[in-house]
Chains A and B, each alone.
Chain A
Amino acid sequence: SAVISQKPSRDICQRGTSLTIQCQVDSQVTMMFWYRQQPGQSLTLIATANQGSEATYESGFVIDKFPISRPNLTFSTLTVSNMSPEDSSIYLCSVEGETGKVTEAFFGQGTRLTVV
């Protein structure tokens, strides 16, 4: 299993500002995933972050709005840029159990973001 720590756990931000969310894993992992969970909705994958390469974004998400860093095998950040109230969501970091094997995904506790 993997233990994932996310910071901050919640924040209230002014529109037009940016927030960087940190994700720390207790073991080295190849791929890290960032999800968005809008109020009352399911999880939507934002992007996949591999160490040493640019993140791969899903349809509807762009790097300018959600820049991601992946400096090493245990850490990643997601920035929500130029925020608007529509960005109010829970943002979750996730990793796979074992590289090359089909195991479950592990999730951080999430960052609850409110944009006012």
Chain B
Amino acid sequence: AQSVTQLDSQVPVFEEAPVELRCNYSSSVSVYLFWYVQYPNQGLQLLLKYLSGSTLVKGINGFEAEFNKSQTSFHLRKPSVHISDTAEYFCAVRIVAAGNKLTFGGGTRVLVKP
């Protein structure tokens, strides 16, 4: 079974500073990768996804992520954060050709400070 590890449970960051959220997965087969954001008292919203092709994926709100197959990682980055980026971020994995089940990481809480 696959697992998803988000290495940081909390990341405090100052406004306009860069941020990187780390995500590693364990799977011996091909996967699809996703990053979701959850703002306070809301459901999950997709930031970006990797299905195939270019390993650098750009998403909404200035976020991007890079798929590294050899390191089984899919780290999320933003060069300059805003106060409004304060939220919980979840990495998720779906195994190719294994149905639609998503496995989520434990989440990383980003707190942007002025």
Contacts and interface: CB of A to CB of B under 8 A. Distances in A.
A104 B100 contact: no
A104 B46 contact: yes
Interface string A91-116: 01000100000101111111010000
Contacts of A109: 41-43
Given A31-B100, A42-B90, A96-B100, A102 B42 contact: no
A53 interface: no
Interface string B21-42: 0000000000010101000011
B55 to A, nearest CB: 17
A42 B4 CA distance: 11
Nearest to B99: A48
Contacts of B44: 43, 92, 105, 107
B100 A42 contact: no
Interface residues of B, number: 21
A73 B96 CA distance: 25
Interface stretch (B64-72, B79-87, B101-109): B101-109
Interface of A: 4, 6, 31, 33, 41-45, 48, 92, 96, 102, 104-110, 112
Interface of B: 32, 34, 36, 41-46, 49, 51, 90, 94, 96, 100-102, 104-107
21 contacts: A31-B100, A41-B107, A42-B90, A42-B104, A43-B102, A43-B104, A48-B100, A92-B43, A102-B32, A102-B51, A102-B94, A102-B96, A104-B46, A104-B49, A105-B44, A105-B102, A106-B46, A107-B36, A107-B45, A108-B43, A109-B43
